[in-house]
Amino acid sequence: MSNNLKNKRALVTGGSRGIGAGIIRRLALEGVDVALTYVSKPDQAFEVAKAAREQGVRAITIQADSADPKAVVAAVEQMVAELGGIDILVNNAGIIVIAPVDEFRLEDFDRTVAVNIRGVFVATQAAVKHMQAGGRIITIGSCNADRMPFAGGAVYAMSKAAMVGLVKGLARDLGPRGITINNIQPGPIATDMNPADSDVADTLRNLMALPRYGSADEIAAMVAYLASPEASYVTGASLTIDGGFTA
């Protein structure tokens, strides 16, 4: 590790599992004090934070549903109060609902937008009030913003495509303040929610240039780069890490 991020403070939404947990691990290795939000399973969140503390950093867990704006703002305020500030925000929390268009429930549509778009905006709005020049905001989108290869995923794809526009627009707002914002678009990543040994995984691998699933650590490595001083000239970008899924 380069120690470029040592003593920085980061909030990762949805950080108790999958990609979020991988991001917490990597940031802790870089010397970043971390806070993570979770909706349920506090024991799982605690274990992620415990592993981070074993790297010698401070780590806290905060229960907050990204669909609830008040909870999102409260999570940012709690993180700032307990860790003394915020330098990095990783908007990782997200949901996916797959259903045919004529069966897709409006409540699922509304929750997808609430978590995947509104939650990102609310967290960003709350965080930048406390950020200094050099602050970093990183969103975790999806390559499905560019390619949705199966039926039933239109609403999820829409939400991730909207994130691209949101990041581009916010880059204009935040650039004069010395704060960057970027979007990472993962392809298929091996997690407990998306295992690499399923029938769906076999189908997806056939669509990729590199016929394998990625790992949470590979996404976390891009997060570490975008959070670092080396990425100070990168903003408003959507960076795809998908094994050639959209190639």
pLDDT in tens, the chain (247 residues): 567 999 999 999 999 999 999 999 999 999 999 999 999 999 999 999 999 999 999 999 999 999 999 999 999 999 999 999 999 999 999 999 999 999 999 999 999 999 999 999 999 999 999 999 999 999 999 999 999 999 999 999 999 999 999 999 999 999 999 999 999 999 999 987 787 888 788 888 888 999 999 999 999 999 999 999 999 999 999 999 999 999 9
Report strand pairing: 9-12 vs 88-91. parallel
Tell me how far apart the alpha carbons of residues 239 and 187 are, in angstroms, rounded to a whole number: 11
- pLDDT for residue 3: 72
Return the pLDDT at 1. Answer: 59
What pLDDT shows up at residue 42? 95
Q: Give the pLDDT of residue 148.
A: 94
CA distance 80 to 189: 31
pLDDT of the residue at 206: 87
Quick one: which of 189, 173, 193 has its CA closest to 181? 173
Residues composing the chain: 247
Query: What pLDDT score was predicted for residue 68?
Result: 98
Give CA–CA dist 35/81, Å, rounded: 11
Distances 33 to 8, 11, 55, 138 between C-alpha atoms, Å: 6, 9, 10, 16
Active site residues: 156
Report the CATH number of the 9-239 domain: 3.40.50.720
Domain ranges of the chain: 9-239
Identify the pLDDT of residue 2: 64
